[in-house]
Amino acid sequence: MKIVYADNNATTQVAPEVFQAMKPYFNEDYFNPSSMYEPARKTSQALGAARAEIAAALGCGDPRQIIFTSCATESNNAAIFGVASAGGGFGGKRRHIITTTVEHPAVLGVCKEMQRRGYEVTYLPVDHDGNLNVGDFIRSLRSDTLLVTIMHGNNETGVVFPVEQLSRLTKETDSQIVFHTDATQTVGKLPVDLDGDFRHVDLLSFSGHKIHAPKGVGALFMRRGTPCRPFLIGGHQECGRRAGTENVPYIIGLAKAVVRAVGNREEDYQHTARLRDRLQKAIEERISHIQVNCKNAPRLPTTLNVSCHYVEGEGMLFQLSEEGICASSGSACTSGSLEPSHVLLALDVPFTAVHGSIRFSLSRYNTDADIDWIIEVFPRTVANLRNLSPYWDKKTDSPRSNVDELIRQTH
Ligand code: PLP
């Protein structure tokens, strides 16, 4: 069976060029980059070159500001715990953190932990379209605010927050507040210019496996002078900012993937946006009682999140999977649970649709044939499932006339 992979926000296939670039570092140039002998020097140089390439691709003049990590989760943990443990340079007097209700669990979970440790966290809401209110954001900044951590692109809806503006407003209000952004879904897909539009961002997290590098490698950009204590303590690697022998082959892969994604960014943007828009239009035309979440917000071109009334997301995923289509009912990290995702709850998606949400996420490797197949299978899947729903009237092919009453009785 042909597989149509439409879950690229969860992970991506490793690009052949990335795999090729990594290969020699497993069994030829396998040396520890910290070792002193000649062959290791070559490995160390390759590590330095990878750092320089990533820095250049992201508009960062000083490559030493790029720290390699194992994943974006680690980068987010390192950023938030690191800033808190440095006390923001204020001897621990600043104990307020600002974030949003729609962050990835790798930020939300750390913020919850910060609350357990006595920090106060403001969770900014979003509107029905998934947008933040900039006025609310400004009003949430306080004299004891230590850190702002707000994502760039949302993994479930694709909504892009105006990080350039929010980081600038933060620094204009109080230059000592640290600004962190989780850019895991946007590096290589949207412009990220660390010394340009992003010059007010102090810390930026991302990982390789969303842009065709392998799983298990990521990076944290840390602007020089940012008060942030190391998260992993041990050896002197990464200038003492992240202990542990560097994962050289994967870092080489990460650099290749970043350079490649940034180089192809505009072409990939056009390609994925065209496919996504085709799919969205067909779904809107062929399936009744749906809503395309956040379609009026600035969105990543790769992401389409649809809520279908009167169907179960898990049922849709199962039937799509039977036909070779891989998608997600929420973020990969939450799809194991039947609870509606916190992002859809934050958007206030109606009760009858929140359980029937599905995310298609595309990459440069998706084709028109993939979209054709989804367009053929998905409407049929929704129709099949609706015919099994107690809320759906098969004869009229519409919700039962007493659907509100039925919902009240069952919930
Ligand atoms: N942040 C965002 C926005 C994500 O989409 C993800 C993964 O889905 C992560 C963080 C975690 O990334 P990793 O798997 O590299 O830890």
What is the DSSP track for 307-325? Answer: EETTS-HHHHHHHHHHTTE
Torsion 370-191-243-45 (CA) sign: positive
Q: Which residue, judged by its Cα, is nearest atom 12 of ligand 1? A: 72
Cα of 106 to ligand 1 centre, how many Å? 7
Q: For residue 352, which of 389, 301, 395 has the smallest C-alpha distance?
A: 389
Q: Token digits for 115? A: 């609350």
Q: How many other C-beta atoms can be found within 10 angstroms of the C-beta atom of residue 193?
A: 12
In this prediction, residue 390 carries a pLDDT of 87
Pocket test for ligand 1, best of 101, 150, 207 (most atoms within 8 A of CB): 207
Atom of ligand 1 nearest to the CA of 153: 3
Q: Measure Cα distances from 55 to 66, 105, 191 in Å.
A: 7, 27, 13
Is residue 60 part of the annotated active site? The answer reads no
Chunked mean pLDDT (size 10), the chain, 411 residues:
96 98 97 96 97 98 98 98 81 89 98 95 98 98 97 98 98 97 98 98 98 98 96 94 97 98 98 98 97 97 96 92 92 57 93 91 98 98 93 90 80 68
CA pair distance 272, 303, nearest whole angstrom: 9
Q: Which residue, judged by its Cα, is nearest atom 5 of ligand 1? A: 155
Beta-strand relationship, 303-308 and 290-292: antiparallel
Cα of 6 to ligand 1 centre, how many Å? 17
Cα-atom radius of gyration of the chain, to the nearest Å?
23
In this prediction, residue 339 carries a pLDDT of 80
**Which one is catalytic: 60, 239, 326, 333?**
333
Pocket test for ligand 1, best of 74, 80, 159, 185 (most atoms within 8 A of CB): 185
CA pair distance 364, 163, nearest whole angstrom: 25
Q: Token digits for 364? A: 């440069």
In this prediction, residue 330 carries a pLDDT of 59
CA pair distance 50, 25, nearest whole angstrom: 13
Count CA within 13 A, CB hemisphere, residue 79.
38
Pocket test for ligand 1, best of 210, 328, 333 (most atoms within 8 A of CB): 210
Cα of 49 to ligand 1 centre, how many Å? 25
Cα of 73 to ligand 1 centre, how many Å? 6
Helices and strands (DSSP H and E) totals, the chain: 14, 14
